[in-house]
Amino acid sequence: MTTDTSAAIAGAYEHPTRDAPEKSTPQLHAEVARGALDDAGLTFDDVDGFFTAGTPSWLLSLVDHLGLSGLSYYDSTDVGGSSYVAHVGHAAAAIAAGKCEVALVTLAGRPRQEQLSPLSDGPEVPFEESFGPSAVGLYALAARRHMHEYGTTPEQLAEIRVAASTHAQHNPDAMYQEPVTVEDVVNSRPVADPLGLLDCCVITDGGGAVVVVSPEVAADLDRECPTVEGQAEAAKHVEGGHLDVTYTAAVESGPRAFAEAGIDHDDVDYASIYDSFTITVLETIEDLGFCAKGEGGAFVEGGTLQAPDGDLPFNTDGGGLCNNHPGNRGGMTKIIEAVRQLRGEANDPVQVPDCEVAIAHGTGGSIGTRMGSCTLVLGADR
C-alpha cells in the first residue's frame, strides 16, 4: 500500500433497527450521526464537512436538524446504493484540498414503512416504463444472460447466499440469522426467473454513518482509524441499446482504486461487496479481477467467500442478503463492516485474522441497465 494517505475513517456506526415504525428518517439520521461521532470520540461541533444522499430537497434542513453549525463543505452526490462509498472518496479529496477536516457521512431510510419510490424519474422513463421493468426483473435479466454466456448455474449463485447466511448467524442484529443450504436457495420461491427469494436482498429501515477525518485529526484520537488508501468511480450505461449485462462498471473502478492504493488482489484480506442480488456479487467479483470473466461461478464454490478461512472472505455481517440493506442502499454497511474487520471488531467467528487490507464496493442503479460502481480500498491503522 501507499504510505501517504489523505484521510482515515475514525468513526463507524450501524443502526441496530431493521424495522422503524416509530422513528422518522431525520431521527434515524441523527441517531446514526451521534453513534458514529461517539465511536470516533468527536462531537457535532467538530464536524465541518457533511455528506449524504437521497435527500435532494432537504439537505439544508437536515444540516439544521443535526445542528451542524460549523460546516465549510457539503456534498449530496446521489448514485444510488454506491453513494456512500463515493462520499468517502469525495471526503478524502475535500480533506486533502483543505476544504474540511472532519466529514460526517450519513444514510437513513424507512422503506418498510413508506411506499417504495419508482425505479427512476430520469429521462429514460417515458421510453422504458411502459415495458414494466422492475428492479428484480432487471437483475434477473443479467443473471439469465450470464448463465447463457458462461454456463453459470443457480447452484453457484446460491453459494453466495449460503456464505452470507453462514456469517449472519453470528450477527445478533441481522434480519435473517438462520443458515441456509444451496438447496434452500435454489428451491426458494421464484421471484423473477432465474432468481428466487433467497437470491434477493432484504428490505430494511435504519441506516449508518461514518466519520472521515484528516491524518492530523486521526493522530489525536484514541481510536483505531483505518486509512483511505484508494478510491475510484465509474459509470456504465445502455450505449444506445448495445448493452452487455454480464459485466458492471467495476471493470473500471476496481483497477483504478487498486492502482491508487498500490495493491494487487493477493493483498486483499477482506471484501465487502454490494449484494443487492446474488448475481450482483458474482459479476462484481469477476469485474474487480479476482477471477476471469465467466469464471465467477466456479470461483465462489467450495467456501471461497466464507470467513475466516476462505480465499476471499466477504460480507461477514451477513450483507444485504441477510443482515441489512437500509433505505434500499447498501453501500454504507459495506464500509462499516470493512472498518470493523480492519479494527479487529467483527463478530469473533468471522473475524479475518491479521486483516490489513479491505475493500468496500458499492453498486448504484441496476446492472441490467445503467449503473455506477465505486470501489474503496482501506488499510489498517499503522
Chain segment 323-369, per-residue pLDDT in tens = 999 999 999 999 999 999 999 999 999 999 999 999 999 999 999 88
**Is the predicted pLDDT of residue 3 greater than 60, yes or no?**
no
pLDDT band, very low/low/confident/very high, at 145 (cuts 50, 70, 90): very high
pLDDT band, very low/low/confident/very high, at 239 (cuts 50, 70, 90): confident
**Is the predicted pLDDT of residue 57 greater than 80, yes or no?**
no
Peptide bond into 194 cis (omega under 30): yes
pLDDT band, very low/low/confident/very high, at 115 (cuts 50, 70, 90): low
pLDDT at 2: 43
Average pLDDT over residues 171-186: 98
310 Cβ contact partners less than 8 Å away, ≥ 6 residues apart:
163, 303, 304
pLDDT at 242: 79
| Arch. (CATH architecture) of 126-201+230-379 | 3-Layer(aba) Sandwich (3.40)
Report the percentage of the chain scoring pLDDT > 70: 96
- Please name the fold of domain 8-114+205-224: Peroxisomal Thiolase; Chain A, domain 1 (3.40.47)
Do 126-201+230-379 and 8-114+205-224 fall under one CATH topology?
yes
**Is the predicted pLDDT of residue 219 greater than 70, yes or no?**
yes
27 Cβ contact partners less than 8 Å away, ≥ 6 residues apart:
none
**Is the predicted pLDDT of residue 124 greater than 90, yes or no?**
no
C-alpha dihedral, 138 to 173 to 269 to 201, nearest 10°: -10
pLDDT at 116: 56
pLDDT band, very low/low/confident/very high, at 96 (cuts 50, 70, 90): very high
pLDDT at 1: 42
Of 4-8, 32-36, 199-203, 292-296, the one with minimum mean pLDDT is: 4-8
From 271, 224, 267, select the one nearest 375 (Cα to Cα): 271
Domain assignments of the chain as residue spans, ordered by start: 8-114+205-224, 126-201+230-379
